[in-house]
Amino acid sequence: MSGLMERVRNPRDLRRLTALELDALAEEIRRFLIVNVARTGGHMGPNLGVVELTIALHRVFDSPRDTIIFDTGHQAYVHKILTGRQVFSHLRSEGGLSGYPSRAESPHDVVENSHASASLSWALGVAKAKKLAGDDSWTVAVIGDGALTGGMAWEGLNTIADDPNLRLVIVVNDNARSYAPTIGGLAHHMDALRTNPAYEKALEWGKRKLRSSGKPGNIAYDALHGLKRGMHDAIAPQAMFADIGIKYTGPVDGHDIIAAEFQLTRAREFARPVIVHAITVKGRGYNFAEEHVADRFHAIGPIHPETGLPVEQSRFGWGNVVAEELLEAARSDADLVGITAAMLDPVGLGPFAQEFPDRVLDVGIAEQNALAVAAGLAFAGKHPVVALYATFLNRAFDQLLMDAALHDAGVTILLDRAGITGTDGASHNGMWDIAIGGIIPGLALAAPRDEATLRRYVREALAVHDHPTLVRYPKGDLPSDLAVIGSLGGADLLYGNTEARVALVGVGPLAHRCVEAATRLKDAGTDAAVIDPGWIFPVKESFVRALANFDVVVTCEDGLETSGYGIQLGERLERAGFSGRHRAFGIPREFIHQASRDSILSRLGLDADGIASRVLELV
């Protein structure tokens, strides 16, 4: 690292730079991001798209006194650089920078939760508290057009509009995409705003005048202010949420620092809630990202920066299997309808949508909407399949419980990235779904361990039409299939025999670790049988009875050990009069911060060595 970045150790340093230096800084940051994120992996496209906009934000507002809240937070790398965090060598790794805002890293960071659409409610709360305390500082929410598809964002807007005295600025980072292109009526409306020809003509004229003035960057908006203000008021469309009482200004080129700075400064003059509409390009300045149709390098693993190609080609993964099974099922069942929440390709619905576009619905970042729509589809005779990341099911708990389960809706839910995911940190670990599923009446939940069981359980789930079904599977490449050597109470016996003293009940992919642990136990003189129940909910009574012959029963799962499958199985064993010892091994009730999946599981004692040593303590 060298050059202008070295001169920027906190946001106030930006105010010493001229307009030309600011443009040079933006390019330096962009090159830095390409090189460093290519090495570690991370959210490249979103950050390349907000370089200039973030510089403008930090020149106009005085963070951390002025509170800047990033919705989702995956676009906060530039913010990190400008607030003194310029060592990206271990980004998203244990001991390195988080891929999202982190209070432990900096007082400039506020919201760590990387689930979308919450920033406006956060900003409303912060701004309201400041108003009550007589604090005249500003609160700024930076939200993408994709996150505006979420219902929580609209709830926040509705309440913000009810208080005209809040010092609150909403910056809409409009790049026409979330993970994929933004969908819905709002997307069409914003497209009309960003392509307004009268405004584009006025904006270009004002920018030419500004650039020719030769003013240094820290006073450039003063030169532009008198030139554009009257004309802008006459031309700019008061169209985005103006009807509910929120002032709108824009659209502005989010890649022009001085123009963005002018609009943000102007927003402060209103001393009331204002929306600043900024147009940006996801992946800006890196051809491979800009030309990547699927997601503009939204989130990447390590790549070769000179080619944009992955350092390691991915092997066939869990999501590929799901995509194949869904497409095959859709071909044979015309009632099958796919639903996703702005993540069509990552959750395996891409091939389905390509072949049957009328039968796949993307509802945007709106998981509650997805589950309620699914319940309606099921009522009307279709079989909806809702495909999500496991962490995002949390947002639709009420709809799963009250709209799907209460009505015995034949809805199939496919949860990708279940369990420990690792590098994206606490908010992306899919560790709550087993606990959630375990308290929902009528829900059947399966945890496949390999490709064969994943295919089988997806097919079995799709065959159910009188209650909701859920299939969970982890992130990453598929492990080898485990051979089934027998059956025990309707569960698969994978290792050992029923004469063993210890039963290791492996849930999903942890069955592989249990098999490895059983070999270590054998070497230590303790025989163990490894059993995979497959469909873990509802708990099978036949399986409970079959476990009665063991002295020790241990369950291993990558869900909450305090409220997951193991606890429910233990309760059933106790009721059945089981006289042996039972333990539930899983994830403790805590937020798990970033590290690799293997590192986290080892720390939690859920690797083969950890499981074996804990079992030996019991016997």
Q: Given CA atoms 483, 485, 487, 488 in this order, what sign does their dihedral have? A: negative
479 preceded by cis ω (within 30°)? no
Residue 489 backbone class (left: φ over 0; alpha: ψ -120 to 50; beta: rest)? left
Helices (H) and strands (E) in the chain, counts: 23, 20
Q: Is residue 12 classed as helix, strand or coil in its secondary structure?
A: helix
Name the active-site residue from 130, 228, 247, 282.
282
Tokens for 13? Answer: 């340093």
Residues whose CB is less than 8 angstroms from the CB of residue 334 and which lie 6 or more positions away in sequence, other chains included: none
Which residues on neighbouring strands pair with residue 68, listed in sequence order?
Answer: 140
Count the Cβ atoms, other than its own, within 10 Å of residue 93.
Answer: 18
- Please report which residue ranges of 250-334 form alpha helices under DSSP H: 257-269, 287-290, 318-332
- Show Cβ contacts of residue 157 under 8 Å, excluding neighbours closer than 6 positions: 120, 170, 241, 244, 246
CA 406 to chain centre: 28
Classify burial at 519, counting beta carbons within 10 Å of its beta carbon; exposed 0-12, middle 13-18, buried 19 or more. Answer: middle
Angle of helix 19-40 relative to helix 51-60, nearest 10 degrees, comes to 130
Separation of alpha carbons 478 and 470, rounded Å: 19
Active site residue 571: no
d(CA 494, CA 487): 9
**282 catalytic per annotation:** yes
Backbone angles phi and psi of 153, in degrees to 5: -65, -40
Which residue among 30, 85, 92, 395 is the active-site one?
395
Task: Read off the amino acid at residue 127.
Answer: A
Instruction: Note if 395 is an active site residue.
Output: yes
Strand partners, 472: 415
Task: Kindly give the pairing relationship between strand 168-174 and strand 67-70.
Answer: unpaired
* Bridge partner list, 171: 142, 276
**Of 68, 55, 58, residue with least CA distance to 29:** 55
Scored b (16 or more CB within 10 A) or e, 422-450 reads bbbbbbbbbbbbbbbbbebebbbbbbbbb
User: What phi and psi, each to the nearest 5 degrees, are found at residue 231?
Assistant: -65, -40
Whole-angstrom CA distances from 59 to 15, 141, 267 are: 6, 16, 14
Helix (H) or strand (E) holding 352, with range, is helix 350-355
The token pair at 8 is 């920027």
> Element (H or E) spanning 566, and its range?
helix 565-575
> CA 18, CA 214: separation in Å to the nearest integer?
10
Specify whether the CB–CB gap between 301 and 476 falls below 8 A: no
Cα 103 from chain centroid (whole Å): 19
> 10 Å Cβ neighbour count for 499?
9
The catalytic site residues sit at 282, 367, 395
